Every structure is written in structure tokens, then in C-alpha cells.
Structure 1
Amino acid sequence: MGFDREALREAVRKHGKVTRVVIAAIRGSSPREVGAAMLVWDGGQSGTIGGGTLEFQAAEAARAQQDRSRLSRHALGPDLGQCCGGAVTLLSEVYDAEAVAQLDPEVIARPVAEGPMPLSVKRLLAQARNQGIRPEPQLIDGWMVEPVHSPHRQLWIWGAGHVGRALVDVMAPLPDLAITWVDTAPDRFPGTVPAGVAVVPAAKPAELVQHVPRDAEHLVLTYSHNLDLELCNRLLTHGFRFAGLIGSATKWARFRSRLAALGHSPAQIGRITCPIGDPALGKHPQMIAIGVAAQILRPARQNDLKKDQSA
């Protein structure tokens, strides 16, 4: 979670003035966590702070807002008739192109009322600059502090067929994934690609593997079994954090044999996950995409990633 500066910049470019509403603090139960935010403009909005009535009223107030910055507190039960029973503090800030250009590239700290920067905030900023410790989003001593959002996981999707398109549609909105999408030619991709997805047409996709970070994750699902095999071979030689291959048990048995013939050990080959997703959901592209997304995002998978990062 963090301050999505790029999404704000794009919204301001398209819509002019945009009000960003962020959950600054919570007490008790809340529909979303501190740092959850939405962008609101005349005639539309994006993102969510959750809560149904809370979000509706906050969006209406944001469109009518005249002040540059406004802090408001909401008791979810008594005020809004919601079941959470807690209370949230919202910070609503109006941005234009000039304001966006002045945002810090790493940590955004600003007062919600007049006053000098307190020592507690100075310490958080010093830790971010000198030790690389990203602060949690928080309202502290009259200041709102948020790290600038940057995806922590690099996901490479190899193949822009039906399943590749479904995967991108399902996974592109997820905040912690930076997606690179590869296929053999520009016309393999749809005319409209979700924001933030890097499209890479390459006549020889396997040649790109040598340039991919070794801690990236991969989903291999091209139109060609030969290309799938070559990608698996290159990935095993290069290194990866996770690699999933679409296919049946029969396809995987053949691939294991061929990868072994190329010199890879059973332990190395076993690092590739095949098949991917949840076969019980069916073979419709969207069903496959939902199963694959759940597979790589489930808590056990997250724990594995944390262990890898701390090793």
C-alpha cells in the first residue's frame, strides 16, 4: 500500500483537478486499511476506500470540496448505518498538475493543519532516506505520511492469447505487481491494454530472458509448445523466483523429459509449476486466470516470497 503517484498524475492529465481521498486513521473495525485511497473527479472516480455509504458520501463531498485539504471523521455505525462499528478519519486533498509535479518521489509527508514538521515525522523521513525503511501510511502528530507506491513483484506473462489476455485483465489492477507482457508481434496484443502493463513485442521472446531480473515471476502460456519449451529452458538456466507453465499432465511429462535431455536436473525442473491454476474451475480462459491469480497470491505463496527475500 502506498501513494500511487502515477495513477494520480494520469487522472489529473485526463480530468483536470482530482480529489484524492485516503483513509488516514481508523479506530475499531473498518472496511479498508489506513492508506486505502480513491480518486474523485466530476463525473467519475477510481479506487476504493470501501464501505458503501462511506465511499458514496465521501465522493460526493470530494466533488463539492473547495478547500485544498480537509480532514473528516466518520463513525461508521451511528453516522452511516454500517455494521463495522468503528470509525475512520479521511483526508481529502485536491490536486492539479502543478501539485502533482511537486510530490516527493519516495515518501509524501504533509501537514493536515498548520505547523512545523514534528520530530517523529523527521525520523520517519530520515529512516527512509538513509536506511531505505519505507514507513507505513499513517497520520502522526498532525502530519499524513505515505510511501510512494511501487510494485514489489515483477510478473512476466509470456503469451497474449486468450488465457494471457484473461490473466492481464485479472491481475493488472493488483497494486503489488509490475506486469511485463510478451508475445511475438504487435498484432498479437489487444488494442487496449490496462494501464501500467508494459507490452513487449519480440520476434524471438526467449532472447529476452537474459535481460529479466532473476527475482521475477513468470507465467508461460504462448501459442507454441516449442516456444514454451525454449522459455522454460532459458528460465532454468537464467534463474527465477517462480515459473508456471500452462498445460496438461501429458504436456508436462514430455517437457520434463525434454528439459532433462537439455541437461537440467530433476530438482531444477521441479521448480517449474505445471499445470497452473485450479483444474476444478474449468478450462474457460477467465476461469484459468482466476485459478492462476489465486495460486500466486495465496498466503502460502506470499510466505515463500518473504523467505526468498530474506535469504
Structure 2
Amino acid sequence: MPDHYRQLLEKMPAVLATVVQIKGSVPREVGAKMIITETEIFGTIGGGAGEAKVIRQALEVLATGEKQWVEIDLTGAPQRETQGICGGIMQVWLERWDSDRYRSLIQQILTKLESGQTVSIVTPFNAEQFPYLSRDCPEQAFIETIEPAPTLLIVGAGHCGIELAKVANLIGFQVIVQDDRANWANVDRYPNAKIFNTPIDETVNQLATHTQLYAALVTRGYQYDLAALKALVDRPIPCRYIGMIGSEKRVRQVFQSSEISREKLRSIYAPIGLDIGALTPEEIAISISAELILVRRGGTGRSLSQSLRMID
């Protein structure tokens, strides 16, 4: 979703088409977006004749500036014009984004998301009003809550950290790497990550507003694990996930040496990752990333073929 707003910022004037209501079986969900300019289209609201109808009306909105509703009828009803036979109906709101007011709003949205905060955008269905940020929704408006992308804080910039950063970036995490060794934690070794060479408590404080923070401790020694655990479990906004690499012996030593309560220690994933027999840094990175997906999306962690194998 943030990519749509970045594109709007770069492509104004443009029409933002947003699915705001659905009924029955339809190809896209509420909140799905498409951007239409005079020469380009970004995103999709489902394709086919329905999307073509939206594009035609969006070009009118682009020319006139007058906001419009578009109904996409996918019922296949024989007595009226329809755009498909999926079975449902979509209501799409078209609005031209074309001024400093809209640019300012987009910058606010992106700034909040990049600082790890949730954003609620209100789009009034009124010719005289403009979209704005708020959690309060008037009757004639569409309110949309956008969560920031999950952030993975990798504590420790060694071999496992390098591979984990690659895989985490691939699965949609914003990656932050913390290590006091600048010759280990730098943009050359971690080109797709934000780098912190500050102490771990200072790093965690700078991430205080992040609501979707995951942390993977792949440090070079248990004293660094202790410092990281203390900083992370004391966050006012709890981490979605804290995992710590190491053998069971090392994990027990860290836990016994810490002053963290048993209740909080039970929430830590240690040893980190799913048991897939991983040995190399690359395999360990995949094991950890699989656990991150499990925590983020939900799941059992078992083989998908397990139920079929039990069939006689």
C-alpha cells in the first residue's frame, strides 16, 4: 500500500481509484487501489471490463476534477449491463490527487509508516472535503487503516546476520542491523538495511514508535544477548517477536544470568528458528525466516503434506 502513495507523490496529477465497498464474490478486497494518469496505470482493482469502466471514468475525473462513484456489476444479471459474472458488486471511489494539500498528506502517511506507526486515512465522500488522517470517521466517508511493514531488528552483524538480512528483505521485512563494529555492520555488507552502530539500548530507544518490531539476536556472545534482551523486553510497545540464536546450553546460561522474569522469558523464541536441520548460515537464515512468517501469518509449522500421508 505505501508504494501506491509513493507513486502518487511522483505522478501527480493522478486519479486514485479505491474499492470502498463490496458485496458478494468479487476479484479484489476493500481498500484495493489503482492509480490512473494520462499515460500510465499502476495497480489493479480486478481487471476485465469492470476495470476498463473505472479507467474511462477516471480519465474524466482527471480532466474535470469532479469526484465520482463507479459501480462494477459482476452479477451477470441479464436485465442490465454488467461487467462480469463473478457474482458480486464493487463500489469504487475516484478522486484526483493534484495539489500541495495532497502531497503534504502523502508525506505524512509515509513518515508515519516509516517510523513504524499505524495510519488511519479518512476519505470523505464529499466534493468540498479532502482526505485527512484521523481515527474518527464521519458517516459519509471511507476510513482505511494501514499497518506499517514489519521491521526486523537483527542484533549482530556476523555471517548469520548477513544471510538473514537477505531473506528477511525478500519476505517483506524492513531490515535494521545493530552492531557496534562498523567494519561488520555497514552498507557494503548490508545494502538493503538501515545500520545502527550505537549501543543496543540506544538503538531500541530510536525504534520506540515501531508497532511491528521483530528482533533476531544473532550476536557474538551471551553478554550481548543479555543487553539486547533487557532493552527489548522493556519496550513500552511489546515486540511481536524476539528470537535468540544459540545452543540450548547457551540459552539456559543467558536466561539464568538475566534478571528478566520467567513469564517474559517464556515469550522468547530460543533457540531461534524452526527445526529443519539447518547447518549453514544460509540454512539458518531460512529457518529463522520461516519462524518469522509463522508468527506473522499464523500456522502450525508442520509439513503441508502431513494430513495426506495419514490417509490409508
Once the two structures are superposed, the pairs formed by residues 100-139 of structure 1 within 5 Å of their partners are: 100-101=102-103, 103=105, 107-111=121-125, 133-135=135-137
- Given that residues 9 and 100 in structure 1 are in contact (C-alpha distance below 8 angstroms), is that contact kept between their aligned partners in structure 2? no
SS of residue in 1 equivalent to 2:70: strand
**Which residue of 1 is the match for residue 113 of structure 2?**
none
SS of residue in 1 equivalent to 2:247: helix
SS of residue in 1 equivalent to 2:214: strand
Distance (whole Å) between structure 1 residues aligned to residue 195 and residue 175 of structure 2: 7
Are residues 45 and 289 of structure 1, via their aligned partners in 2, closer, same or farther at CA, if it must alter by over 3 Å?
farther
Once the two structures are superposed, the pairs formed by residues 156-235 of structure 1 within 5 Å of their partners are: 156-159=152-155, 161-172=162-173, 181-184=176-179, 185-187=185-187, 190-192=190-192, 199-210=194-205, 212-213=207-208, 217-222=213-218, 224-226=220-222, 227-235=224-232
Are residues 292 and 99 of structure 1, via their aligned partners in 2, closer, same or farther at CA, if it must alter by over 3 Å?
same
**Which residue of 2 is the match for residue 263 of structure 1?**
259
Are residues 279 and 251 of structure 1, via their aligned partners in 2, closer, same or farther at CA, if it must alter by over 3 Å?
same
**Which residue of 2 is the match for residue 73 of structure 1?**
71
- Given that residues 246 and 276 in structure 1 are in contact (C-alpha distance below 8 angstroms), is that contact kept between their aligned partners in structure 2? yes
Q: Quick check: 1:293 aligned with 2:293?
A: yes
Structure 1 residue 90, shift from structure 2 partner: 0.9
Out of 25, 29, 36, the residue aligned to residue 33 of structure 1 is 29
Counterpart of 2:125 in structure 1: which amino acid? Answer: P
- Given that residues 163 and 221 in structure 1 are in contact (C-alpha distance below 8 angstroms), is that contact kept between their aligned partners in structure 2? no
- Given that residues 167 and 293 in structure 1 are in contact (C-alpha distance below 8 angstroms), is that contact kept between their aligned partners in structure 2? no
Are residues 27 and 59 of structure 1, via their aligned partners in 2, closer, same or farther at CA, if it must alter by over 3 Å?
closer
Are residues 285 and 236 of structure 1, via their aligned partners in 2, closer, same or farther at CA, if it must alter by over 3 Å?
closer
Distance (whole Å) between structure 2 residues aligned to residue 295 and residue 13 of structure 1: 33
Counterpart of 1:86 in structure 2: which amino acid? Answer: G
**Which residue of 1 is the match for residue 40 of structure 2?**
43
Structure 1 residue 9, shift from structure 2 partner: 5.0
- Given that residues 23 and 91 in structure 1 are in contact (C-alpha distance below 8 angstroms), is that contact kept between their aligned partners in structure 2? yes
Structure 1 residue 7, shift from structure 2 partner: 5.0
Q: Identity of aligned pairs, percent?
A: 15
Q: Quick check: 1:151 aligned with 2:147?
A: yes
- Structure 1 or 2, whichever has the larger Rg, is 2
**TM-score of the superposed pair, with normalisation by structure 2:** 0.63
Counterpart of 2:142 in structure 1: which amino acid? Answer: V
1:210-264: CA deviations, max 9, x gaps?
A: 55539764321445344445312433455634432153xx624412222312333
SS of residue in 2 equivalent to 1:38: strand
Out of 13, 18, 28, the residue aligned to residue 14 of structure 2 is 18
- Given that residues 17 and 58 in structure 2 are in contact (C-alpha distance below 8 angstroms), is that contact kept between their aligned partners in structure 1? no
Counterpart of 2:258 in structure 1: which amino acid? Answer: L
1:89-143: CA deviations, max 9, x gaps?
A: 111222124351475976534335x6x88xxxxxxx9xx97xxx544xx9x5xx4
Distance (whole Å) between structure 2 residues aligned to residue 43 and residue 287 of structure 1: 40
- Name the stretch that deviates more: 17-26 or 234-243: 234-243
RMSD: 4.1
- Given that residues 50 and 72 in structure 2 are in contact (C-alpha distance below 8 angstroms), is that contact kept between their aligned partners in structure 1? no
Number of positions where the alignment pairs a residue of Structure 1 with one of Structure 2: 260
- Given that residues 26 and 88 in structure 1 are in contact (C-alpha distance below 8 angstroms), is that contact kept between their aligned partners in structure 2? yes
Counterpart of 2:32 in structure 1: which amino acid? Answer: A
Are residues 265 and 107 of structure 1, via their aligned partners in 2, closer, same or farther at CA, if it must alter by over 3 Å?
closer
Out of 87, 97, 100, the residue aligned to residue 98 of structure 1 is 100
Structure 1 residue 73, shift from structure 2 partner: 0.7
**TM-score of the superposed pair, with normalisation by structure 1:** 0.63
Q: Which runs of 5 or more residues in structure 2 are unaligned?
A: 77-81, 109-119, 156-160, 180-184, 301-312
1:29-86: CA deviations, max 9, x gaps?
A: 333333332334433414x53x343675367437744342231111224234453x11
